Amino acid sequence: MIRISEPRSTARNAFLGVAATAMIAVGPAACAGTSGGSDGSGSQAQTLPEADEPVVIATRLKASRCTDAWTVDLDPRQIPDPLAGNDLSGWARGAGAVQQTSMQVEVKITGNGSATTIKAVRAVPVGDKTAPIQATTEAAIDCNAPSPGPHLEADLDQPKPKMTAYNNSSSRRLPLQVSTDTAEFLVLASTTKYDIYWQIEVDWTHDGKDGTTAVRGPDGQPFHLTAARATHTCVWGSNGKLSKALSVDCTR
């Protein structure tokens, strides 16, 4: 059985915000879900686990202006400059943007005092995969994108996405045990074919019992990712100016 934790209260969805956090306390008993999100100042909501719950799982959407791209259903003239301020998540919400092609999510699994074996971390589509959003504009920022470093990568276009490890040290190799320590993973999910809602699922064993916990976003909803299918392409340089060389049919 897969346990999906429901939020006790609804926080503002900091979609694309680096401070967006969902805390899920899980255990062999019926899961009591907790969730929190950014209040706009970077603070995070957190609920400590009960004594009999083996682990706490936290997700944090890792936004990067140099690697992320967005699908925006606005004419290029209507799209605010994404580099006009430092609040990229606010820009995305205001523009109604959906993250495009790839997404990075940080996952932290913390033990609660007794040994729990983490068997697998998976990226799993939720519901049907549909055609990419047919939006007006693709928006992106061209700058030197850093390497994601050690990470787990999943191609959501596959019928059953397989998680592949890249550059992971022995401390991140599965299966592994946690007690009071924390195991950290960076999950990179991608699509080039579909509009997909997806979640992270963590398989674990504790006291001879197996469990699977579905981990979603800061508002308790699945993550959302779409392939690129826009009419216009607008690419800004790191200097804040529109790149005519990289943009296609982007008149502003």
Q: DSSP string covering 122-153, please?
A: EEEEEEEEEPPP--SEEEEEES-PPP--SEEE
DSSP 181: S
Alpha-carbon gap, residue 196 to 200, rounded angstroms = 13
Token duo for residue 22: 């969902």
The pLDDT of residue 48 is: 41
In 3D, which of 199, 37, 231, 246 has the Cα closest to residue 103? Answer: 199
The pLDDT of residue 53 is: 64
Q: Do 203 and 118 touch, CB atoms closer than 8 A?
A: yes
Domain count, the chain: 1
> Which residues in the chain belong to E strands, given as ranges?
2-4, 21-26, 55-62, 69-72, 98-100, 102-111, 116-130, 137-142, 151-155, 163-166, 176-178, 182-190, 195-206, 209-215, 223-226, 232-237
Cis peptide leading into 28, omega within 30 of 0?
Answer: no
User: Residue 157 falls within a domain, yes or no?
Assistant: yes
The pLDDT of residue 174 is: 84
CA atoms 123, 127, 132, 133: torsion sign: negative
User: Residue 52 falls within a domain, yes or no?
Assistant: yes
The pLDDT of residue 18 is: 33
Q: Averaged over 227-248, what is the pLDDT?
A: 92
Matching residue, tokens 């190799």 = 173
User: Residue 42 falls within a domain, yes or no?
Assistant: yes
The pLDDT of residue 236 is: 92
pLDDT tier for residue 190 given thresholds of 50, 70 and 90: very high
Question: What is the chain's mean pLDDT, rounded?
Answer: 77
pLDDT tier for residue 230 given thresholds of 50, 70 and 90: very high
User: Residue 247 falls within a domain, yes or no?
Assistant: no
Flag whether pLDDT at 78 surpasses 60.
yes
User: Residue 248 falls within a domain, yes or no?
Assistant: no
User: Residue 125 falls within a domain, yes or no?
Assistant: yes
pLDDT tier for residue 17 given thresholds of 50, 70 and 90: very low
Flag whether pLDDT at 128 surpasses 70.
yes
The pLDDT of residue 213 is: 84
Q: Averaged over 204-217, what is the pLDDT?
A: 87
The pLDDT of residue 24 is: 34
User: Residue 101 falls within a domain, yes or no?
Assistant: yes
Flag whether pLDDT at 33 surpasses 90.
no
The pLDDT of residue 32 is: 30
Beta bridge partners of 189: 103, 154
Across 152-166, 210-224, 234-248, least confident range? 210-224
Pair type for strands 98-100 and 69-72 = antiparallel
In 3D, which of 219, 212, 224, 223 has the Cα closest to residue 35? Answer: 219
User: Residue 14 falls within a domain, yes or no?
Assistant: yes
Pair type for strands 195-206 and 116-130 = antiparallel
User: Hey, what amino acid is at 159?
Assistant: P
Domain around 209: 2-237
